[in-house]
Homo-oligomer: A and B are copies of this chain.
Amino acid sequence: MSSQDVLIHSDDPCHPANLICTLCKQFFHNNWCTGTGGGISIKDPNTNYYYLAPSGVQKEKMTPEDLFVMDAQTLEYLRSPKLYKPSACTPLFLACYQKKDAGAIIHTHSQNAVICSLVFGDEFRIANIEQIKAIPSGKVDPVTKKPMALSFFDTLKIPIIENMAHEDELIDDLHKTFKDYPDTCAVIVRRHGIFVWGPTIDKAKIFNEAIDYLMELAIKMYQMGIPPDCAIGEEKKHLKMASP
C-alpha cells in the first residue's frame, strides 16, 4: 500500500474516508445529491487532515479511493484520486473550517432548500417547532460551559445568499454571512442548495437532518397559508381553508 493510500484505508467505519462514502450513499437516497450534486468534507480529529469528496462522482458509488486528502496547515493535497478533479466547493469548505472551526461540512442540493430559497427573501425563518431544539443557539450554558441549543420558543434563522456561475464566487457572500449571522450553522444558496457545518461530522449530520425536516415542514405550512414563524395559537387565522 502506498503512503497515500494509507490515508484512506481503514477498517473503522467511522474513519473519515469510510464515513464520507457511507453518508454520500445515504444522502443520495434522500434525493440530496443525485446527478453528482452535493458533497461532504470531514476533518480527521486525529491528524487534522481534510477529507474531501471529489467533483463529478456518482455519490452513491463513491469509494475511499475517490477522495482527496488535504493538509490543514499547508492546504496542499496529500492525496489525489486519479480520475477526478477537486470539488468546486473546496474553497467554501475551507472557509467553514478556518472561520467557523468546523469539523465537517455537508453540502446538498435538497429541493426543500431550493424551494425555501424561492419562497423566502434573504432569510429562512421557522419558530415554535420541537425539532428546532436540535439546532445550536450559539450560546454557551453559563454553568456547564457547554453549547446550548435553540429552545422551542426560539426562531431559527438561516441566511440565504444568491447563487453565482461558479461555486468559488460564493466565498464573499459566505464570509459576509459569517459576520451577519455569527451563530448560524448553515447557509442556503438560492436556486442551488444548502451548506451545513458542525464541530463534528455527527453534529453536522444531525443539524443537516433537522434543518431539512424544518424546511420541508415550512413549505407545507406555507402551502396551507400558515407563516412558518407564526406565533403559537395564531395558526387557524392563517389557514386557507377552515379548520375541520
Q: Which residues of A come within 8 Å of B, CB atoms? A: 31, 34-37, 58, 109, 111, 114-115, 118-121, 125, 128-131, 134, 151-153, 162-165, 189-193, 202, 205-207, 209-210, 212-213, 216-218, 220-229, 232, 235-236, 239-241, 243-244
Q: Which residues of B contact A218 (CB under 8 A)?
A: 244
Least Cβ–Cβ distance between A111 and chain B, in angstroms: 6
Which of B58, B119, B189 contacts A202, CB < 8 Å? Answer: B58
A206-B36 in contact given A31-B213, A213-B109 (Cβ < 8 Å): yes
A118-B224 in contact given A130-B191, A216-B111 (Cβ < 8 Å): yes
Considering the complex of A and B, which 9 residue pairs feature the smallest CB-CB distances, nearest first?
A35-B210, A130-B192, A35-B209, A34-B209, A227-B244, A35-B134, A118-B235, A129-B191, A35-B206
Nearest B residue to A126 via CB reads B244
